[in-house]
Structure 1
Amino acid sequence: MNQLLENISWAFLLTIGRYFTIAGIFFLVFYLLFPKNLLRNKIQGKLAGKADFLREILHSSVSSLVLAIMAIIALSEGIRGYTFIYTDLHAYPIWWIPVSLLLTLLVHDTYFYWMHRILHHKRLFKTTHLVHHQSTNPSPWTSYSFHFLEAIAEGAVMIVLVFAMPLHPITLALFALSSFIINVYGHLGYEIMPKGFRNTFLFEIVNTSTFHNLHHQKFKGNYGLYLRVWDRWMKTEHPDYVKDYDRMQEQRFGKLHKDTSFD
């Protein structure tokens, strides 16, 4: 029992440390140091207040504990023999580390899309997901601002992953880091995609901060985490997304020529 509590404590410190470090850096740059310089990048004109930030940090601290517990369960000795976790780096080619990282993100995107849609069911929304949607104008602190039941559902993806494919702990660590950075970007409240992104095929596939911000404004549509793919297949992408993205980029760069060959 003492070892279990120690493992949970270390996992919690790692999770909440990641939260405060990464979300804190983005918050420092965009909300404290350079808000006037980056005003053109602001997706919504209004600003969230200190009470919103404190609420989000409180919920995120609880979520960090829940996510840490879920990670410990996924890596526990009790289920290790039934999972695909491996610790010998030579058990698989070294290229499997980046490939498996990409696959974990793809699995997570699918998992998140359907979990997210379920949480928007009227019988679940008010008791769980509404906590996250109190942040209608999200900030980096919103990233882990969940009801504890939603935090369990969010963290359960780690258990899904270790049963889905061979994964080294390095891959899981990179997954946790990269997924959180993308999560913070989605809740940033500022658009930072480069000028030419709109005219690439990646625009048709990859989510942007504008994409997820619209979900927080409208509460419906744009359920995907990393990609637009599931929303486009299931016809749940908000019809105003592309228009809003173009408005944001014109706000940043002026009138743009848009290549419609990808539309």
Structure 2
Amino acid sequence: MTNVLNTVVTYAGFWLWKDGLIVIRVEPSWKILTDFLLLFFSMDFLMYLFHFLIHKTMLYQLIHRLHHEATDPKPMDLFILHPVETLSFGGMWLVLLLLLPFNWYAILIYLTVNLVFGLIGHLGMEPLPIRWQDSWVMRGLGSSTFHHDHHRDVDHNFGFYTTIWDILFGTLRK
């Protein structure tokens, strides 16, 4: 169902673009990097906020508990979401695209990174060597261990791509 609803969101985005409400730039330029970073950090914050609010309200029992039935998540668990969650994440994405014009290449890179982070977060093991995991860059990114800990302790580690918001809002599990 998650993939079907993601397709619905994609078609909605296509029609919004076709009607001129979403503006996508296609020229390659240095803006690819800035657009990607804006998408990455904006979506990371919005998804952190949504994820935190779901956990702290009755919505957890109503819609998010299903995803947390996997206490030892596997890659397929990425796609076990309640329809409300899937449409909410897609809605955040579309609102961001409606608000600002983004470069086509930045969008493609972001969507690829989004899928990779989602799969790594549910991998159940760290794919990188330990010496890389201990670097300051990797400690700032949401890893498989980071998300696995969230599935075991639902009061911490709400971030998706980074640990920034968990650090800032005191929800990082140490």
- In the superposition, the TM-score normalised over structure 2's length comes to 0.90
2:127 aligned residue: 192
Q: Report the CA distance between 1:196 and its aligned residue.
A: 1.9
Q: CA RMSD in A?
A: 1.9
Structure 1 stretches of 4+ moved >6 Å: none
- Paired with 2:26 and 2:139, the residues of 1 have a C-alpha distance of 38
The count of residues paired between Structure 1 and Structure 2 equals 174
- Paired with 2:24 and 2:138, the residues of 1 have a C-alpha distance of 35
Report the CA distance shift for 1:99/1:135 in structure 2 as closer, same or farther (over 3 A). same
SS at structure 1 position matched to 2:58: helix
Letter in 1 for 2:148: N
- Paired with 1:71 and 1:144, the residues of 2 have a C-alpha distance of 16
Letter in 1 for 2:169: M
- Paired with 1:161 and 1:79, the residues of 2 have a C-alpha distance of 16
Q: Report the CA distance between 1:179 and its aligned residue.
A: 0.5
Deviation per residue, 1:83-131 (Å, 9 max, x gap):
3x23442xxx522123312221111100110000111133101110011
SS at structure 2 position matched to 1:156: helix
Whichever structure has more helix as a proportion of its residues is 1
- Paired with 1:231 and 1:151, the residues of 2 have a C-alpha distance of 22
Q: Percent identity over the alignment?
A: 24
Q: Report the CA distance between 1:163 and its aligned residue.
A: 2.5
2:15 to 76, 92, 107: 76
Unaligned runs of 5+ in 1: 1-61, 240-263
Larger radius of gyration: 1
- In the superposition, the TM-score normalised over structure 1's length comes to 0.61
2:141 aligned residue: 206
Report the CA distance shift for 1:230/1:87 in structure 2 as closer, same or farther (over 3 A). closer
Is 2:2–2:80's contact at 8 Å kept on the other side of the alignment?
yes
2:35 to 54, 75, 100: 100
Letter in 1 for 2:151: H
Which structure carries more relative contact order (alpha carbon 8 Å, separation 6+)?
Answer: 2
Is 1:71–1:158's contact at 8 Å kept on the other side of the alignment?
no
- Paired with 1:101 and 1:94, the residues of 2 have a C-alpha distance of 12
Q: Report the CA distance between 1:178 and its aligned residue.
A: 1.5
Is 1:74–1:159's contact at 8 Å kept on the other side of the alignment?
yes
